């Protein structure tokens, strides 16, 4: 549009002369549109040819570029594919855009009288003293600058399209250059030699031998930097209030925390990793691992970080906080499980009768018959005092760590034990808490994406 606007404004006088000798508005409009159509056809054909060739040359040139090297690591490549449909769509869009851009200034030109077009009386609308220039302009830019300034002031509308075109060109160039630079820096960081990829491999089996067999199959591969077997239980762990860090004990958190006497319930991920990975984790954090394999008093490493997100005063806030005081070690805590009653099941929601708390246990056959826990007949239930059913399993958080295992999230508080201590930790025969352990996961860390 800017190009045609400048071109037509330069030929207004020619259009006026043509109309004065008998040219109709329709003829002038057709002349302008035919010129636009002809230029569009030539430009589009050359643009498609040069564009395809240019892209092909660019792809060939970047074959050794680090972006392509990243793609090659995962078995990908770059090659030029020319599809007719996108080219056809681009041709139609360019053609329509060119014709519309030419029609707008042509419409303005043909709606002027022949005398106005020849004299161009409306091209220069200026009041006395408006073309004066400051002495600073003359001092900085000299005589040429003064003449350019006066010429611009004589017809500001004539130069607006030029200024707008130049401004848009500079904006697009800076935007494209900045985006390219940021993308290149990001890819350079990701493609550096220190970039590693974590892969989690789920093992769906209850057989310890099967897990060990698969672990041994891949642990000696030279391209693997780290490997670990992990099993997890996500549960609510109760910690004495005096161990809770002040930065965590906020109004936002307190409304969601459940309490049992003086203990506060906190969501924790109990993680059990193979002994080799656990010892390596201890070494990373400069901790003696021997005390963590003591069957008489098992304890775990504490990753004491939680990423919290909440809204305060209409602002989204994200922060990394410690749940337990950072200088606290050997912190006692417990998870609550429940004694099982053979043939019965319960929601473990306290029911108060005669001032005492009970759990309602319903026959499993009755629950299956009712297809759930809704509209149950309490007469079918057996009552057991909560103190007979509740089982608190003690845990101990030993040293706190900052360097976490490569397979674990950095967003959740975690208590990490050697995998060999899981059975020792949950020895109570009245609970099947150990069955909550997730399927074993074999995690590997490597910088070879084709492994």
Separation of alpha carbons 274 and 227, rounded Å: 9
Which tokens in the block code for residue 82?
Answer: 């020319």
N- to C-terminal Cα separation, the chain: 54
Q: According to the model, what pLDDT value does residue 399 have?
A: 93
Residue 295 CB burial class (10 angstroms; 0-12, 13-18, ≥19):
exposed
Distances (CA, A) of 304 to 25, 298, 434: 80, 18, 23
CB atoms within 10 A of CB 322: 18
Residue 15 three-state SS: helix
Q: According to the model, what pLDDT value does residue 74 have?
A: 47
Using alpha carbons, select from 263, 390, 270 the residue that is nearest to residue 333. 263
Tens digits of per-residue pLDDT, 380-406? Answer: 999 999 999 999 999 999 999 998 887
Which tokens in the block code for residue 297?
Answer: 């008093």
Q: According to the model, what pLDDT value does residue 301 have?
A: 95
Q: According to the model, what pLDDT value does residue 172 have?
A: 87
**67-106 burial, b if ≥16 CB within 10 A, otherwise e?**
eeebeebeeeeeeeeeeeeeeeeebeebbeebeebbbebb
Which tokens in the block code for residue 388?
Answer: 């007979």
Q: Which residues contact 422 (CB under 8 A, 6 or more apart)?
A: 231, 272, 434, 437
Using alpha carbons, select from 247, 224, 256 the residue that is nearest to residue 406. 224
Q: How far is CA 294 from the centre of its chain?
A: 42
Question: What is the pTM (predicted TM-score) of this model?
Answer: 0.57
Asked if residues 2 and 164 have their Cβ atoms less than 8 Å apart, the reply is: yes
Tens digits of per-residue pLDDT, 238-270? Answer: 999 999 999 888 877 888 888 888 899 999 999
Q: According to the model, what pLDDT value does residue 125 have?
A: 58
Asked if residues 399 and 302 have their Cβ atoms less than 8 Å apart, the reply is: yes
Which tokens in the block code for residue 5?
Answer: 């606007």
Residues (pLDDT < 50) of the chain are 66, 71-75, 193
Report domain extents, the chain.
1-123, 197-446
């Amino acid at each position: 549009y800017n190009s045609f606007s400048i071109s037509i404004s330069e030929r207004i006088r020619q259009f006026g002369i043509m109309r004065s000798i008998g040219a109709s508005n329709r003829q002038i409009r057709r002349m302008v549109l035919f010129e636009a159509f002809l230029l569009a056809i030539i430009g589009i054909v050359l643009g498609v040819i040069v564009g395809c060739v240019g892209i092909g040359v660019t792809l060939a040139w970047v074959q050794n570029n680090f972006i392509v090297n990243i793609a090659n690591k995962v078995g990908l490549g770059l090659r030029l594919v020319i599809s007719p449909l996108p080219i056809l769509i681009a041709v139609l869009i360019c053609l329509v855009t060119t014709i519309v851009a030419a029609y707008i200034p042509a419409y303005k030109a043909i709606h002027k009288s022949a005398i106005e077009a020849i004299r161009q009386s409306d091209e220069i609308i200026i009041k006395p003293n408006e073309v004066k220039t400051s002495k600073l302009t003359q001092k900085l830019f000299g005589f040429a600058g003064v003449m350019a300034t006066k010429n611009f002031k004589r017809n500001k509308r004539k130069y607006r399209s030029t200024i707008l075109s130049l401004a848009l060109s500079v904006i697009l160039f800076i935007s494209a250059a900045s985006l390219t630079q940021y993308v290149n820096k990001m890819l350079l960081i990701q493609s550096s030699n220190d970039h590693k990829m974590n892969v989690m491999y789920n093992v769906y089996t209850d057989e310890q031998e099967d897990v060990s067999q698969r672990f041994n199959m891949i642990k000696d591969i030279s391209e693997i930097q780290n490997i670990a077997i992990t099993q997890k239980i996500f549960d609510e762990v109760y910690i004495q209030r005096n161990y809770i860090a002040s930065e965590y004990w906020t109004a936002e958190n307190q409304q969601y925390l459940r309490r049992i006497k003086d203990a506060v319930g906190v969501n924790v991920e109990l993680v059990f990793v193979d002994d080799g990975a656990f010892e390596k984790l201890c070494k990373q954090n400069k901790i003696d691992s021997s005390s963590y394999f003591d069957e008489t008093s098992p304890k775990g490493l504490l990753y004491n970080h939680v990423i919290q997100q909440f809204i305060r005063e209409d602002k989204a806030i994200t922060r990394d906080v410690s749940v337990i005081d950072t200088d606290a070690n050997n912190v006692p805590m417990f998870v609550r499980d429940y004694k099982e009653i053979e043939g019965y099941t319960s929601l473990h929601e306290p029911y108060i009768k005669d001032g005492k708390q009970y759990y309602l246990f319903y026959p499993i056959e009755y629950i299956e018959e009712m297809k759930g826990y809704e509209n149950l007949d309490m007469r079918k239930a057996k009552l057991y005092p909560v103190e007979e059913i509740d089982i608190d399993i003690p845990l101990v958080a030993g040293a706190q760590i900052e360097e976490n295992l490569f397979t674990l999230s950095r967003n959740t508080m975690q208590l990490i034990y050697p995998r060999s201590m899981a059975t020792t930790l949950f020895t109570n025969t009245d609970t099947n808490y150990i069955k909550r352990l997730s399927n074993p996961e074999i995690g590997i860390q490597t910088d070879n994406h084709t492994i």
